[in-house]
A and B are shown apart, each in its own frame.
Chain A
Amino acid sequence: MRSDRSGVAGFFEDLPVLMFVLSGVVALVLTSVFVSERISASGLDEQLDAVAKRIVDSVASEMLFSCGPDVLPTVASICAFDYSDLVSQLSDGRGFALSVFSLHPSFGCMLNISSDQGSAPRSTGYASELLNALGDNGLNMVLEVRVIVW
């Protein structure tokens, strides 16, 4: 009889102890999961930024040499080239969007290419580069090549 009473009393007395211990463990586990998720997302962002930079460098150099070395490329020659294959190769199967904007003397979108992957991106990488190109009106324009990779 005494033994039973002690057992029941001990169990209920230990409930607050159990609650504090479990709460502490849960707090530690949740924090660890959150922090490790953030670190891995940040690492993935950096990796995707590097891929985007590689694509932008390749596309920009392809544009700059579209009219031959030491010759300023024209907007027409830049827009006439198909960059899909080049970007697809460099993106290693990842989703991508490539845009070319005119920033000066007027603002406007010159080119837009994107992959077919429609899934929501978990993380993205971004890179851009400016270059000069000769416009139809004889003005030396400033174009921006933007790449987003996911």
Chain B
Amino acid sequence: MSGRHRADSQGQLATLDAIVFFSAAILVSSVLLSYSLEAPQSAEIRPTRDPANVLEVFLRASVGVDIILDLGERAVIRSNEQIGECLNIELRGLSKGLPIEAFLPLNEQFSDTLQRLCGLSFHHRLVVLDPTSEEVLAIGMDIDGDARNTFASSMDMRDVDGTDYLVMLVISTCVS
């Protein structure tokens, strides 16, 4: 009897140890799996196209369509005009007190072009700052998403009058 009793006690102790080992193994596995699976989700979602590259080719591209503007007198923007030059014309008009609504068709074309270049999964906003860092033009929607998923690039642009502007492109993922 005493032998059997001793064997039972040892068996129960061994089972308890095994359960502790099993629990520890499950705990370690869970921690490893959760870390391994969560890592990509917490990582930043980069745009497929580099914002600096997008801004550079955008400013050098042609407008693509003829656009008629009412700037007091009828003004025609030809399809082969470069976007950078048209932006200069708009900035000069705005500095002379023309309303932003006068350039609405041009800005819509800029926004459509940027959307195509950035990709449909991304929001874009083109901002132009004057030498006093005041925003003089903003095209596209407001971006106030996660900073990890927001990317920007800027370029200096000189007006024909010699005024230096800073053109900034902000790209953010549509995931909020």
Contact = CB atoms under 8 A, between A and B. Distances in A.
Interface string A22-36: 011101101110110
Interface in B1-54: 3-4, 7-8, 11, 14-15, 17-19, 21-22, 24-26, 28-29, 32-33, 36, 48-50, 53-54
A22 B56 CA distance: 60
B60 interface: yes
Contact of A130 (B17, B28, B65, B117): B117
Interface residues of A, number: 41
A18 B17 CA distance: 11
Contact of B61 (A9, A24, A39, A104): A104
B27 to A, nearest CB: 10
* Majority secondary structure, B binding face: helix
B58 interface: yes
A17 interface: yes
B64 interface: yes
Nearest to B40: A42
Interface stretch (A75-83, A86-94, A112-120, A136-144): A136-144
For chain B, the bracket of interface size reads 35 or more
Given A10-B7, A128-B48, A24 B22 contact: yes
A24 B26 contact: yes
* Majority secondary structure, A binding face: helix
Given A24-B18, A130-B56, 10 more contacts: A10-B7, A16-B18, A18-B18, A20-B19, A24-B21, A25-B25, A32-B32, A129-B53, A130-B53, A140-B61
Interface of B: 3-4, 7-8, 11, 14-15, 17-19, 21-22, 24-26, 28-29, 32-33, 36, 48-50, 53-54, 56-58, 60-62, 64-65, 79-80, 82, 113, 116-117
